[in-house]
């Protein structure tokens, strides 16, 4: 295979991620040509609306998957946390490259989270982050904030907000360095499912074989466990969910939670075991959280499965 058409969103971060993949594909396969194909998704068209109101799962993925199934592109690069638990028929995640820092960070004009004054304005695009912030600091004014990373940082620097919560991975991939960052503990402020990881998606054909050269088995195992949790819970971007798996040698540990949007109810749990049992652990952890109150939270939101 001498040429691959790689689909990507057009944001600065998406292009940075795709160019990173392009460089590594060309290094692994000398003589290969990679053509970046920019695709506008639903999430890109409605940047002034909360994600929870514009289509649920896959608002950054659907149009790109359509291009894949129609043969207009050969593969795609997504932020793993944007990928629904179930892919379109005939598509596979061919590779999960080495994972960036999965943590969330708080960027503030007045110190860390504990130092924020009551009624401080904190912006984020994620219902999960909103719920966790409200659970920790009910006195804060937590607001929905869309837009690219540069736009959000500008709102902070211009004084429209007192703090932001963003993914560390996005800042690192864009080469943005700040001195006003607090890294939030992933054991308590559990990251989004797949946060910090990339998904390289393709049809189940020869392209998938070419892409597998970029796969990191450790990242792939961790993400597989997290996504098994997501699939069993059955939530969407309207649901504050989190799961984060780590590997130490052959042992995998996964922490997860289901929260109410106002942060008043947060059901937490964890599992640990063999790395090869990650899928089973993700499912078991989901069923545990659902049985201990997670299902009730989801029912109120009109989401989720029935507990078996």
Assess whether 82 carries a catalytic annotation.
yes
DSSP H helix total and E strand total for the chain: 10, 13
- ∠ CA 102-293-268, rounded to 5°: 30
Active-site option among 74, 82, 101, 104: 82
**162 touches 110 (CB < 8 A):** yes
Q: Which of 300, 274, 293, 281 is nearest to 243 (CA)?
A: 281
Tell me the DSSP string of 36-105. Answer: EEE---HHHHTTTS-GGGTTSTTTTTHHHHHHHHTTS-SEEEEEGGGS-SSPPTTEEEEE--------EE
CA distance 80 to 93: 10
Report the length, in residues, of the chain.
Answer: 308
Is 142 within 8 Å of 133 (Cβ atoms)? yes
Q: How far apart are CA 125 and CA 144, in angstroms?
A: 5
Longest dimension (CA), the chain: 58
Catalytic residues: 82
């Amino acid at each position: 295979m001498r040429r691959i058409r790689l689909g990507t969103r057009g944001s600065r971060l998406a292009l940075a991620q795709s160019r990173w993949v392009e460089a590594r594909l060309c290094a692994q396969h000398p003589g290969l040509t990679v053509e970046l194909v920019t695709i506008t998704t639903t999430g890109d068209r409605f940047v002034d609306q909360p994600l929870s109101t514009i289509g649920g799962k896959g608002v950054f993925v659907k149009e790109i998957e359509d291009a894949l199934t129609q043969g207009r592109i050969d593969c795609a690069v997504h932020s793993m946390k944007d990928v629904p638990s179930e892919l379109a028929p005939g598509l596979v995640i061919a590779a999960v490259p080495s994972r960036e820092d999965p943590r969330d960070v708080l960027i503030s004009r007045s110190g860390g989270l504990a130092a924020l004054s009551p009624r401080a304005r904190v912006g984020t695009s994620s219902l999960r982050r909103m719920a966790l912030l409200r659970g920790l600091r009910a006195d804060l004014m937590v607001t929905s904030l869309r837009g690219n990373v540069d736009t959000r940082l500008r709102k902070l620097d211009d004084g429209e907000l007192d703090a932001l919560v963003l993914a560390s991975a996005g800042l690192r991939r864009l080469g943005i360095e700040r001195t006003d960052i607090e890294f939030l503990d992933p054991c308590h402020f559990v990251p989004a499912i797949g946060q910090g990881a990339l998904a390289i998606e393709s049809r189940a054909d020869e392209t998938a074989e070419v892409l597998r050269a970029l796969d990191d088995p450790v990242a792939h195992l961790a993400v597989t466990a997290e996504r098994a949790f997501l699939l069993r819970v059955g939530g969407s971007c309207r649901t504050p969910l989190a799961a984060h798996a780590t590997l130490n040698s052959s042992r995998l540990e996964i922490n997860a939670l289901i929260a109410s949007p106002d942060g008043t109810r947060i059901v937490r749990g964890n599992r640990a075991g063999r790395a090869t049992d990650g899928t089973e652990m993700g499912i078991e952890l989901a069923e545990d959280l659902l049985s201990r109150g997670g299902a009730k939270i989801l029912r109120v939101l009109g989401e989720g499965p029935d507990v078996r």
